[in-house]
Copies of this chain bind each other. A is one copy, B any other.
Amino acid sequence: MEVSNKYVVVKHHIQDAPEESDFEIKSRALILSVDSGSNDVIVKNLYISIDPYQINRMKSNDPSQTSISFAAPITPGEAIDGVAIGKVLVASDNGKFQKDDLVMGVFTWAEYSLVKEESIIKKLEPSEFPLTYHLGVLGFNGLSAYAGFFEVCKPQKGENVFVSAACGAVGNLVGQYAKLLGCYVVGCAGSQDKVTLLKDKLGFDDAFNYKEEKDLTSILARYFPNGIDVYFDNVGGEMLEAAVANMNTFGRVSICGVISQYTDAEKRSSPNMLNVVYNRINIRGFLAADFMNVFPDFIAKTSAYLQTGRLHVIEDVSSGVESIPSAFVGIFNGNNVGKKIVKVAEE
């Protein structure tokens, strides 16, 4: 049996902000069978995770393009791999996966993905949580928030925590974890609706719309009269400079993302190193993948918070492979609220 498989490619390398016209929906016949004894699997994709870091892979040459698999360059015209959830449609006869298994792994921005078994990160057992949670709050975004906050920043109850891109997939969770720990938490976001969401629904102590502020250092001084102890940085640029200027002694900055620079390589951040020395500030970049050792803890605690309703999940779901380019482009324009996901097929 054969299907027509729609998939998304980037037409050429991208250096600045992506546009929908940079992408193309292609289609190719896929025979729904795999060789006996192989470790090939055909997955019918259900949900695809849309993540800003993918833009770095689409550049022609970028310092982010390392030997780490998820940082490897994407070749224009070829299928784009990314984290997704799917259902096994065809498995080989070696018995590791069965037809209809629900799986999370590195698949493709497509309707169907022919992958090796090693691309499957885990089989999803039935649970009380929606499948999509495995792409966000119970997946790598959640682990980024959990490890980046607890392991990298080593926060204490009562400390003052600032989160940028606080309505993003990671930021909203960092703020909620910080509140659950007993911190004073302020977030910034790019619209009044997001600010309201942060304060009214997610329990942030305060929030502001950075687009309405000229002097970020002053605004942070106003929200943090006692200084910032922990800054969870998703954006880089001027916000990082402003946060460092407001950090307390022994303040910690975890660098999770640099979205302001992803679409503008010139937008470098120049935190004042005099502050870094005299206040003994620690600035540390991290990747969630380095913290698989805390994955069981992360899942146990986060599941408990979800079960008791103390952690809110914010998802933003579009539908259809055709919507992937606009979904992806949209995260650089701040269109998404919370975790951006494209639903490719019905469960």
What separation, in Å, do the CA atoms of A92 and B213 have in the docked complex? 59
Question: Can you tell how many copies of this chain the complex includes?
Answer: 2
What separation, in Å, do the CA atoms of A298 and B63 have in the docked complex? 38
Cβ of A63 and Cβ of B274 under 8 Å apart?
A: yes
With most chain B CB atoms within 10 A of its CB, the pick from A270, A274, A281, A290 is: A274
Cβ of B276 and Cβ of A287 under 8 Å apart?
A: no
Query: How big is the A interface, by class?
Result: 35 or more
Chain A window 258-285, contacts with chain B (Cβ cutoff 8 Å), 1 for yes, 0 for no: 1001000000111011111111111111
Contacts of A166 in B (CB 8 A): none
With most chain B CB atoms within 10 A of its CB, the pick from A63, A71, A249 is: A63
With most chain B CB atoms within 10 A of its CB, the pick from A64, A257, A277, A287 is: A277
Contacts of A277 in B (CB 8 A): 64, 255-258, 285-287
Cβ of A287 and Cβ of B283 under 8 Å apart?
A: no
Contacts of A78 in B (CB 8 A): none
Residues on A facing B (Cβ under 8 Å): 56, 62-64, 66, 68, 71, 236, 240, 245, 249, 255-258, 261, 268-270, 272-287, 290
The 6 closest A-B pairs by CB, nearest first: A276-B285, A268-B270, A277-B285, A258-B273, A283-B283, A270-B270
- Sampled A-B contacts (29; CB under 8 Å): A62-B274, A63-B245, A63-B272, A63-B274, A63-B275, A64-B278, A66-B249, A66-B278, A68-B278, A258-B274, A261-B274, A269-B270, A270-B270, A273-B285, A275-B285, A276-B283, A276-B284, A277-B285, A277-B287, A278-B287, A279-B285, A280-B285, A280-B286, A280-B287, A281-B284, A282-B282, A282-B284, A282-B285, A284-B284
